[in-house]
Structures are given as C-alpha cells and as structure tokens.
Amino acid sequence: MAKFNLNPVKALIASIILIIAISGSLIFYYNAKVNELNREILTLGNKLDRVNENLKSDISSLNQNLTSEIDLVDSDLRNFKMRNKEEINTLTGLIDEIEKQSEIQLGELRDDLKSIQVKSQDFTAIIDDVIQSVVSVGTNKGLGSGVVIDSRGFIVTNYHVVEGASIIRVLTYSEDVYNTALIGYNDVADVAVLKVDASLPALRFGDSDDVRVGEKVIALGNPAGLSFTVTEGIISAVHRKGPNDLPIYLQTDVPINPGNSGGPLVDANSEIIGLNNFKVSGLEGLGFAVESNTVKDIADDVIAQYLQSQ
C-alpha cells in the first residue's frame, strides 16, 4: 500500500481553506436566518401597525358614537326639561286663571246674592261693606259727606260743602281723621274731588243710564251731624235737569238733609248711582242727586290732571 505524505505547509493551508469554507457557509447560513427573522419581524410589525390603526379607528368611531349618543341623550333631557317646564308654566297659568275666574265668579255670586237679598228684603246685606267707604267732611264753614272712589285716597263730595273753606278734614267710618286737599271741582255740577294721603276702601260707580224709576236705593251720609246715617227710598224720576240744563239729576224720595250733601246714593249692587245734592225746601220726599255718570266724568278728569302734575 502506497503511503501518502502531505507537506505540512500544504496541510496547514488546506486546513485554513477548509475552515474558511466552513466559516463562510456558517456565516451565509446565519445571515440567511437573520434576514428571514428580520422579514418576519417586519411582517409582524406591519401587522401590529395595521392592528393599531384598526384599533385607533375603532376607538375613534366608538368615541364618536358614544359622544353622539351622549349628545342625543343630553338633548333629549334638555328638551324634556323644557317641555316639562312649559307644561308646568302652562298648568300654573291655568291654575292662576282658574283661581282668578273663581274669585271673579265668587265675587259676582256674592254681589248677585246681595242684590237678590236687597230686592227681596232690605239693604242690610250690603250696608256693612258700603258704609266703610263713606266719610264725613268737616270744614271751617260747615259739615257734609263724601265717598271714596279710589283706594289711593280720592274722594268726591259736593263743591258747596268745601267752597271757600280754609280747613278741610275727613272722618272715616273707622274713626280716622285726615287732613285733605281740594284738588279740583266743577261748580256748575256742584262736584268736588278731595285727596287724602291714605289707602281707603272705595266704592265703584254704577251706570246711571241704567237706573230705573221705582228702583230701591239708599243714601248714606251725616244728616244734622249724625254720622254715618243710612236712609232708604226709591228712584222717583231720572234725567232731571237743573240750572242751565246741567247737571242731570236723579229724583228720589230718600230724605236728604243738611249734612247729607256729597254722600253717595247707592243701588242694590253696592254701586254709586248718584251724589246726594239737595232737596226742595218745604217739600218732603223730593230730593235730588247728581247722576253718577256726570260725577264720574268730572272726577276722572280731575284725577288725571292731578296725577299728571305730580
């Protein structure tokens, strides 16, 4: 058998070449694996990016939907509160209106009841209310009567009761005394308007055009200094004319004596239908009162001018 002898140098070179070849193969294999791993990492990163983007999109969409739902619920809640408030306000208004109508109807019913009582019996049903608005008018010239026509303290009386007086005071039914001022008058109609600084119960005017002959009436005043006297009678005639055809009077058989002048002539509805003025001397049951429509027109003009001047 032949014996193969290898030169040591050649053997070393061959070994180095073999090592290099093996190392290159290992390096190539390692690089291939690294590249493959990098590709997988890149693919995984792309998938994670897509998942992240999808997740962000889903979250954004969810937020939008949730915000929209919250806004819708909030809008519905506001609308409900608004409707509820409107319904409460409407209901409150209806209740207030019902209460007002009820008060009006109750007031009308009370007035009708009093009127029925007066027409069927006497005036006792209304006197307690009416007399609260009657006043005694005292001056340094004499004594008369008056009636409150406005709760702000406006009073009407006859002009001749206060004509030329330097001192005028009124005494109320509750025994309060007030200094008063003459703020205006019509001497032809013999109507004067006074003002006191007090809030007083007032009577309302009736329509004297509706007064009928034979209708029951009462006169309130202070005849002969007898404070807050009430006398009863009927209307004897309407639209009687005085000097210069003015003013227009109601004729009544209610006794009118000194001190009665300026007091109210009141009907069954607790309304002023006349202002007691005078009687024919020497004759009984022949008294006259200035019709309420004339008194009201004069008083309204005087009060309006007075308020404008304040």
- Give the model's pLDDT for residue 259: 77
Q: Which two tokens stand for residue 85?
A: 């408030």
CATH architecture of 127-309: Beta Barrel (2.40)
Question: What is the helix (H) or strand (E) element at residue 300, kind and residue range?
Answer: helix 292-309
Express each pLDDT in 4-58 by its tens digit: 455 677 777 777 777 877 777 777 777 777 777 777 777 777 777 777 777 777 7
Which of 136, 145, 261, 270 does the annotation list as catalytic? 261
Chain centroid offset of residue 109 CA: 24
- Give the model's pLDDT for residue 108: 65
Distance of alpha carbon 249 from alpha carbon 265, whole angstroms:
12
- In the chain, where are the structural domains located? 74-121, 127-309
- Give the model's pLDDT for residue 134: 94
- Give the model's pLDDT for residue 102: 62
Q: Tell me, yes or no, if 102 is annotated catalytic.
A: no
- Give the model's pLDDT for residue 267: 93
Q: Tell me, yes or no, if 160 is annotated catalytic.
A: yes
Whether a cis peptide bond, with omega within 30° of 0, leads into 247 is yes
Which of 136, 145, 190, 208 does the annotation list as catalytic? 190
Distance of alpha carbon 173 from alpha carbon 146, whole angstroms:
11
Distance of alpha carbon 101 from alpha carbon 122, whole angstroms:
29
Close Cβ partners of 265 (under 8 Å, ≥ 6 residues apart): 217, 218, 219, 250, 252, 254, 272, 273, 274, 275, 276, 289
Q: Tell me, yes or no, if 261 is annotated catalytic.
A: yes
- Give the model's pLDDT for residue 106: 64
Express each pLDDT in 273-283 by its tens digit: 999 988 766 56
* pTM across the whole model: 0.61
- Give the model's pLDDT for residue 292: 95
- Give the model's pLDDT for residue 225: 67
Q: Are the beta carbons of 235 and 213 closer than 8 angstroms?
A: yes
Which of 133, 145, 150, 160 does the annotation list as catalytic? 160
- Give the model's pLDDT for residue 120: 44
Q: pLDDT means per 10 residues in the chain (310 residues)?
A: 59 76 73 75 77 76 75 74 74 71 65 53 77 92 93 96 93 93 94 96 95 92 78 90 78 82 92 88 76 96 94
